[in-house]
Amino acid sequence: MTGVPGATGEGGPLVDEAAPRPVVRSEVLHRGRIADLVRDDVDLGDAGTVTREYVVHPGAVAIVALDDADRVLLLRQYRHPVRARLWEVPAGLLDVDGEPAVDAAARELAEEADVTARRWQVLADFASSPGSSDEAVRVFLARDLGEVSATERHTRTGEEAGIEVRWVPLDEAVARVLDGSLHNPSAVVGVLAAAASRAGGWASLRPADAPWPSRPRA
């Protein structure tokens, strides 16, 4: 790679940075049950003003639940926009005002899979589709697992009523991501991040309350 511009890492640390541009006009095109569609006129300075339409989203959490046998919990449910039943990790919206992300993750794990966890750490953060949405997702690693008692289990409705649960060896889940069998972004990111972190002795894990500056404001 010698001689390729940028190949040696010049230009400072390799880290995303917040760099908002002035919005000279903003319009809500549609208010939805979960997300809104917004149109902004954005001042890019010398590049002029551009118009961008995007989805404003409350953000989400996802959970890689790993048991003592190194198996990851996967759920299969129907996703109407892609007309498919996808294998996913448990996940859910940050739709409770002021709720810590780890508390939302614990709630979603219990509601979707009847599973509890005593140990929580951050695996990865990602923007699901930064060209068309402001959605930010935090992926947690959950370990020291248990079961929700039968009397406290959540009644699942809609697509969640048909959830199928499977415990899959982490290495098999990695293989299914790499051969194109799994497509859900939280599952892809979470499974690969868990495998990479495990290979490094879990040294990359962050505390459950680690800073998350890209979390949507509301």
Active site residues: 160
pLDDT tens column, 52-67 = 999 999 999 999 999 9
pLDDT tens column, 178-194 = 999 999 999 999 999 99
- DSSP assignment, residue 21? P
Half-sphere exposure of 49 (CA within 13 A, CB side): 10
Q: Provide the token pair at 215.
A: 């979390």
Looking at the DSSP assignment, which residues form a beta bridge with residue 120? 142
Q: What was the pLDDT predicted at 158?
A: 64
Mean pLDDT of the chain: 91
- DSSP assignment, residue 34? S
List the domains of the chain with CATH numbers: 23-56 (no CATH), 60-207 (3.90.79.10)
Instruction: Please give the Cα distance from 95 to 165 (Å, whole number).
Output: 24
pLDDT tens column, 101-147 = 999 999 999 999 999 999 999 999 999 999 999 999 999 999 999 99
Q: Provide the token pair at 78.
A: 């129907």
Local confidence band at 6 (pLDDT 50, 70, 90 cut-offs): low
What is the value of pTM for the model shown? Answer: 0.89
Edge-to-edge strands, sheet with 49-56? 23-31, 36-43, 49-56
